Amino acid sequence: MKKTISTLGLLLYIAPAIVILSSCSQTQKKEMNPPVAKKIPHEMTMHGHTRVDNYYWLNQRENAEVIAYLEAENTFTDEYMAHTDEFQQKLYDEMLGRIQQTDISVPYKQNGYYYYTRFEEGSEYPIYCRKKDNLEADEEILLNGNEMAEGYAYFQIGGLQMSSDNNLLAYSIDTVSRRQYTLYIKNLTTNEIYTDAIPNTSGNMAWANDNKTLYYSIKDETLRPHKVLKHNLGSSPSEDKEIFHEADPTFYAFVYKTKSMDYIVIGSTSTMSAEFRFQEAGKPETPFKLFQERQRDMLYSIDHFADHFYIRTNLDAQNFRLMKTPVVNTELVNWTEVIPHRTDVLLEDFDVFSNYLALSERKEGLINVRVKSWDNVNDYYLDFGEPTYMAYLSTNLDFNTDKLRYGYTSLTTPNSVFEFDMTTKEKTLLKQQEVLGGYNPDGYQSERIYAISHDGTKVPISIVYKKGIKMNGQNPLVLYGYGSYGASMDAYFSSSRLSLLDRGFIWAITHIRGGEELGRQWYEDGKLLNKKNTFHDFIACGEHLVAQKYTNADKMFAMGGSAGGLLVGAVVNMRPDLWKGIVAQVPFVDVVTTMLDETIPLTTGEYDEWGNPNEKEYYDYMLSYSPYDHVEAKDYPAMLVTTGLHDSQVQYWEPAKWVAKLREVKTDNNTLLLKTNMDFGHGGASGRFERLKESALEFAFMLNELGINK
């Protein structure tokens, strides 16, 4: 239910403001008085160093004054941007108009059924369906997300798992946006939803092959998946047996069934270590067997085929290698190499077939799909033919086929699913995202260029723009980045982005350290005590784009979300003069305070990413870049900061405190807006159309700062 700001909130947080009409001028808008959060000094001492946080009190989600302040900020943002309402609607209509509303995914076959999802005209959520034996059979609707979402401001279907007899569907639902899923079981013969609903799960589950035993993981008070339980159909969830408990707060527990459907696997992973256990899926009464005990700095993951488990691991292989071991002897001593380690190639993924092995490998920042026959007669790479793109192994559930499904997209090519014959090398386009409104990829240009960072490192940048624009230094540009967790930001297509490109914008994606674009070392060089490389790389990319006359500092915007919000928060402190504006989406900006609070989700599990500030070396280093701690009296560019009240990853109070402190000390009159979605969490809106409104606001903010209103 939509909340409105209370009279108390207005009195507490907003001084009298000029009434703003939709046709008001930029000058009139700047006369508005923004909310002023009250200051309650809170001292925090660690390692003999004391910090004073005047806005620490904002971390009380249930406090009426906190809600009132957030609502006051929302009201200020709405009124400040009111003159763009029609423009936002136009942007939204443009983005919506490019979407094929009645749509269907490429069906895949599993255990005698073809499964797919489809959307209907005007609907926000997918409908999950299947057909028996062939695609001409009658459709069976498994779940209709639109009917299930009625009455909820937020609705998300998590994992779905089908029992071996195709009769029972286990699925999970989140209606709060805290990623705490309630697990349900549906009988597909009777359409009955059983009463044994299970709350507080991670949304992750796996059926044993007896069609009555379901394994699932649950979360602790910090939202860390820490236990795997076993549920017997028809019994009360209160009777569910604990199978595995991960006591180490830096690890996360989960469960899955192998591609072969022969084994249930319980995994527990941290940033730098992993451990797995397995059980025959047809014998749920037997104990799980340890695959290989965890070792510090050894990561591995497993899947099964025939008599072996296949293992992707960084054991003596920084960029990972592929190994295998007999099912009967899984200890490390029995592992043998299938694909060796290479210093210039990162092994990202693999898929096993009866005659072939498909590999996803990253070299020089780009994904290559490699096909290798077991008899070593064939070993080749697919040719994608573009300078920058994104490719990935798709849904491949059948061992006994020579057909490989893979996905492909680029900055100019809509997402596409191909079927590739690994023997004949013929490929078939099964589906390409349809972009309505006359989109022509030939009207746009993509490039990959390199910037030189502070230490001489070459940093890739992927760029897209509309053909015909002049590189005269006068183009508006969005520089997007992430640079954490080893997550690579590949060059993918976005139909929404066309609303900026068609107005003369350039869109640039930075492949900065902290991701894995250039291998595992690229990640290592952008985390822990090397984290500042991420920020220096991003700044170098911005400077290079200005020097090469793609844009200038009065027309360049920095954008990033979550850990990418940390990125833009850090660079705006380091180089506020380089940006016209900042869009910080759910930004992780209060690094030290959060990483010292073990009750907050994600803290303990991320010591290997950011460091443990209980150790002085890491405390001092974090403090040297934490955006919130480095806000000071100087001019900042225009800023739009977004968050969600129910965010489970970055708590809402981080961006809220950041904006409050910026309002207090910054010396400029530039725009500063905080938008808190009171119904959503980290991922924003759950509906496919509703989230376009968030993009429309972000685009309108940037365009408005440049004086573009059409």
Task: Give catalytic residues, as residue numbers.
Answer: 562, 647, 682
- Coil, strand or helix at 548: coil
Q: What is the 3-state secondary structure (H, E, C) of 166-221?
A: CCEEEEEEECCCCCCEEEEEEECCCCEECCCCEEEEEEEEEECCCCCEEEEEEECC
Q: Please provide the distance, in angstroms rounded to a whole number, between the alpha carbons at the two ends of the chain.
A: 32
Phi, psi of 373 (to 5 degrees): -80, 150
Q: Residue 615, Cβ neighbours under 10 Å: how many?
A: 12
CB neighbours of 15 closer than 8 A, spacing ≥ 6? Answer: 33, 36
Apex 326 CA angle, 320 and 328, nearest 5: 130
DSSP structural state of residue 84: G
Distance CA 285, CA 420 (A): 41
Query: Which of 297, 289, 347, 343 minimizes the C-alpha distance to 323?
Result: 347
Residue 19, Cβ neighbours under 10 Å: how many? 9
Nearby residues of 588 by Cβ (< 8 Å), 6 or more positions away: 562, 563, 565, 566, 594, 650, 654
Residue linked to tokens 């069976």:
140
Looking only at the bridges linking them, the beta strands covering 225-232 and 156-162 are unpaired
Among 350, 395, 584, which residue's Cα sits nearest to residue 482?
584
Structural contact between residues 553 and 579, judged by C-beta atoms closer than 8 angstroms:
yes
What whole-number distance in Å separates Cα of residue 336 and Cα of residue 317? 13
Lookup result for tokens 């490109």: 501
- The length of the chain in residues reads 710
